[in-house]
A and B are shown apart, each in its own frame.
Chain A
Amino acid sequence: MILDGKCPTGPIQESWDKHRFELKLVNPANKRKFKILVVGTGLAGGAAAATLGELGYNVEAFCYQDSARRAHSIAAQGGINAAKNYPNDGDSIFRLFYDTMKGGDFRAREADVWRLAQVSNNIIDQCVAQGVPFARDYAGYLDNRSFGGAQVSRTFYARGQTGQQLLLGAYQALSRQVKAGTVKIFARREMLDLVVVDGVAKGITCRNLVTGEIESYWGDAVVLATGGYVNVFYLSTNAMGCSVTATWKAAKKGAFFANPCYTQIHPTCIPQSGDHQSKLTLMSESLRNDGRCWVPKKKEDCGKAPGEIPDEDRDYYLERKYPSFGNLAPRDIASRAAKEQCDDGRGIGPGGRGVYLDFADAIKRFGKDVIAARYGNLFQMYEKITDEDAYQVPMRIYPAPHYAMGGLWVDYNLMSNIPGLFVLGEANFSVHGANRLGASALMQGLADGYFVIPYTIAGYLATVTPGTVKTDAPEFRESAEQVKAQIDKLLSIKGKKTVAELHRELGRVMWEDVGMARSKESLEHALKRIPEIRNEFWENVNVTGTNEEINQQLENAGRLADFLEFAELLAKDALHREESCGGHFRVEHQTEDGEAKRDDENFAYVAAWEFKGTDKEPELHKEPLKFENVKLAVRSYK
């Protein structure tokens, strides 16, 4: 099937304004008759729930944590982009649009990216009005810094806690609506199924994580804003609860899953120190504004203390390979370059899996105080984890799975192919193409939540009669029974392996075979191994306790069960995409100097997969990508 993204036609500069004007409206008096379910209270879901509540809709919002304020968006450190051009360095909406298209290796939709760049400026204004304490200069104006993949300073930040402050802004707006009675929050609820009635999304099935009760909720529309899936790699920078469950369950109900193989490996994470580890910690990319990446030129030097290696024996490989972007080369490029150095035997630290990120020059130039003011909390965090003082010795960093560019397929209105099911933020596939530039996920989450969905959902709701389907519909009962059956099954296996053990096994396969570089052989190996681990899971997992209580083993088992199905789709997508682009690197497709080689002739499309059954081949649907405003070029940062 050829998919239609329903992008507006005509000059791109006017596309969003024109589309907005053409969208149908819901009369203010009728809004309260509609009920909207918003799953996820991160930047995307929190902003959406608050805004829709303020507009007068009845909103019910769900999250698995104990409070909406703890969504994973809270962990974002570096910053959020906007095309304000306050620093007068030549930024514009078009430049942000262009950088994002190029950064994504020309695998995103032009119209969506344009809209993102256009509303980016409203986001900053909105957050300032909410009291987000962005960094200010001495004149009292907003301060900016730069991030990977851009040559202008367009990133707004609040120390190293930008995500926290933006999320608290949305959470506070949400709290205001709770007080006003338009939003009801259901915390410690996990969505375990989407309810589809006559082909239309009409509700969700949740497990109450405190009592174990299986609960049904109806809505005139369902909004999924449930974040990304890179915990499929086991070790990642994501929070422990991040999962594919909500989007995968929707996929099993017919929603297409787009570009699952586009996963981002972030270059600046603290290297793994042992098997005990449960996650990897990201060090903000903004560190590369002042930190220089290097490894020893000679293998024999790798064991030496960094201070004993003179400058001429160091290889500042990013500055060498990419003179114009240097240490600010985008993430996929910087990650691959780091891995190359390590594969070449010149990595440092335990197992040779690390490179230096060195602040010595910057400290010499600006003084320790300036560096401490810029990145102090990151240095603190680094010291807590590694027991090393990075003001004295260079940091050690290594790439780690970080962000999912793939997600449920949506059209320009952020609606999936299931009418009534909208998908926002990291959970959808829309704007990042094959690689996300720094500071643009926060931008996307808030753009979707504050400035896109309030308009586009009205266009849909104007075509439906509110409250026609309630939880007494048979589809709700069937869904609840299915969910209950899976829980009973999980609890009855009583095998020998823990959930964590099996997740680690899956993670190893995913990292080795489907990680930073993929080949036909490695992917075929993964496609053999994943079903084996899945079978073992269903025969030999040990889930303790009962359903009728707080049961974290059961929660984790359910999430792993979904990862074990989804992982296979991810590997299949990577195998079918016979090209390299952004975070998807097929070793068979590279240029002579080892850069990603795209195949625009054959692969300039979105790959949207339709689930057909766990042991059946998924069906591939294509949405061709048209480029009218950017020229498809080789993506060079030299």
Chain B
Amino acid sequence: MNLTLHVWRQKNASDPGRLEQYQAKNISPDSSFLEMLDQVNEELIKEGKEPIVFDHDCREGICGMCSQVINGIPHGPEKEATVCQLHMRRFKDGDAIFIEPWRSRAFPVMKDLIVDRSALDRIIQAYGYTSAHTGGVPDGNAIPVSKTYADAAMDAAACIGCGACVAACPNASAMLFTAAKVSHLALLPQGKVEATRRVKAMVAQHDEEGFGNCTNHYECEAACPKGISVNFIARMNREYLKALPKAD
């Protein structure tokens, strides 16, 4: 396949950035989107030009590192897939493709397609954990967990922290991400005792990082590569309302 790429190039955070045009030639439809970019980069290097910089690591759809807005959609047109799991057979020979970084004030661009997502780490650091000490915990079967709840907790825990929900949201809200972790831990008995403190601290950190609020556009769910449901946002809101009048 041959394609025309319009790629966002930006040297660093203070550079204004611009779209540049490249040709991707002889691409196998079995290539992943990132392998297509690898091939373009090899050509660029041969021509003495700067290769395109983008984040990636596992290339299996699980580490959450890759992040590109493709034709206006975070992670591209494939449903429930990360960019590294998007394959070129999804495109047609001769297509023009626009490739841009995540856009959000809380995710400053570092170079080309790489943004700084450390705000998501700080939300987890605020209280996205149970305070279990290492050692001295009860037997794993001492606290039974209903299968329904364990499965629902797993649905929420599947979040890979990629930030596509933020990139897709008109308010640049990280509610889906935050709600996924709040719900995962709130659904399990182990996380319950600190649920009140947790939800307050995580929501406060979310706001402090400069993420917007949820106004029910559902764009996050549509963009999420792991199919995290917006119902978790509703669950978080319930947890939050329950927590508000309570002391920690």
Contact = CB atoms under 8 A, between A and B. Distances in A.
Interface of A: 47, 50-51, 54, 65-70, 72, 74-75, 84, 86, 122, 124-131, 133-142, 158-159, 161, 163-165, 168, 171-173, 175-176, 178-179, 185, 187, 210, 239-241, 273-274, 276-279, 281, 381, 384-385, 387, 450-451, 454, 498, 500-501, 542, 544-545, 549-550, 552-553
B126 interface: yes
Contacts of A140: 144-147, 150
Interface in B54-81: 55-65, 78, 81
B188 interface: yes
A276 B51 CA distance: 17
B137 A128 contact: yes
B154 A54 contact: no
Given A138-B147, A175-B121, A451-B135, 11 more contacts: A65-B57, A66-B116, A74-B63, A128-B137, A130-B132, A131-B129, A133-B153, A134-B150, A176-B131, A210-B110, A550-B110
Contacts of A69: 64, 121, 124, 161
Q: Is the interface of B mostly helix, strand, loop or mixed?
A: loop
Query: Which of the listed residues B58, B121, B135, B138 has the most CB atoms from chain A within 10 Å of its own CB?
Result: B58
A218 B198 CA distance: 35
A54 B28 contact: no
A129 B85 contact: no
Contacts of B248: none
B147 A137 contact: yes
Contact of B51 (A68, A172, A553): A553
Contacts of A387: 30, 87, 89
Contact of B125 (A50, A179, A552): A179
Contacts of B118: 66-67, 187
B96 interface: no
B134 A276 contact: no
6 contacts: A70-B57, A128-B140, A130-B132, A159-B154, A384-B61, A544-B49
Contacts of B214: none
B246 interface: no
B23 interface: no
A173 B134 contact: yes
Nearest to A135: B150
Nearest to B46: A498
B21 interface: no
Contacts of A163: 62
Interface stretch (B33-41, B166-174, B216-224, B234-242): B33-41
A130 B62 contact: no
Given A67-B121, A70-B63, A133 B135 contact: no
Contacts of B133: 54
Given A175-B121, A384-B85, A549-B111, A125 B137 contact: yes
Query: Which of the listed residues B28, B133, B138, B140 has the most CB atoms from chain A within 10 Å of its own CB?
Result: B140
A268 B125 CA distance: 37
Contact of B60 (A67, A75, A545): A75
Contacts of A138: 147
A66 B117 contact: yes
Given A129-B132, A164-B160, A500-B42, A72 B125 contact: no
Given A125-B138, A239-B57, A501-B42, A158 B130 contact: no
Nearest to B111: A550
A17 to B, nearest CB: 14
A501 B184 CA distance: 44
Contacts of B233: none
Closest 8 CB pairs of A and B: A140-B144, A172-B129, A129-B137, A129-B132, A128-B140, A136-B150, A133-B154, A133-B153
Interface in B68-126: 78, 81, 85, 87, 89, 110-111, 114, 116-118, 120-121, 124-126
Given A161-B158, A278-B35, A130 B129 contact: yes
B128 interface: yes
Nearest to B67: A66
Contact of B45 (A86, A134, A239, A542): A542
B50 A544 contact: yes
B31 interface: yes
Contact of A133 (B49, B140, B184): B184
A384 B60 CA distance: 11
A240 B56 contact: yes
A54 B133 CA distance: 8
Given A131-B184, A498-B46, A501-B42, A454 B60 contact: no
Contacts of B188: 131, 133
A368 to B, nearest CB: 19
A418 to B, nearest CB: 27
Nearest to B48: A544
A178 B157 CA distance: 21
A131 B137 CA distance: 12
Contacts of A65: 57, 63, 65
Contacts of B116: 66
Contact of B157 (A168, A173, A187, A385): A168
A385 B134 contact: no
A493 B133 CA distance: 51
B4 to A, nearest CB: 19
Nearest to A67: B121
Nearest to A380: B80
B117 A239 contact: no
Nearest to B152: A133
Contacts of B32: 278
Contact of B135 (A126, A172, A178, A385): A126
Query: Which of the listed residues B60, B145, B188, B191 has the most CB atoms from chain A within 10 Å of its own CB?
Result: B60
A164 B117 CA distance: 19
Contact of A278 (B34, B89, B120, B140): B34
Contacts of B231: none
A412 B135 CA distance: 21
Contact of A553 (B35, B45, B48, B160): B45
Query: Which of the listed residues B28, B64, B132, B144 has the most CB atoms from chain A within 10 Å of its own CB?
Result: B132
Contacts of A133: 150-151, 153-154, 157, 184, 188
Contact of B128 (A68, A161, A172, A501): A172
Contact of A130 (B64, B89, B190): B190
Contact of A381 (B27, B61, B65): B61
Contacts of A498: 42, 45-46
A385 B128 contact: no
A352 to B, nearest CB: 18
Contacts of B42: 498, 500-501
B59 A454 contact: no
Contacts of A276: 27-28, 30-31, 35-36, 38-39
Contacts of A185: 121
B134 A161 contact: no
A141 B141 contact: yes
Nearest to B30: A273
A238 B32 CA distance: 16
Contacts of A139: 144
Contacts of A172: 124, 128-130
Contacts of A550: 53, 110-111, 114
B199 interface: no
Contacts of B161: 67, 69-70
A279 B154 CA distance: 28
Contacts of A178: 125
Contact of A500 (B38, B78, B145): B38
Contacts of A273: 28, 30
A249 B125 CA distance: 32
Contacts of B120: 67
Contacts of A128: 137, 140, 143, 190
Interface in B173-189: 184-185, 188
B7 to A, nearest CB: 15
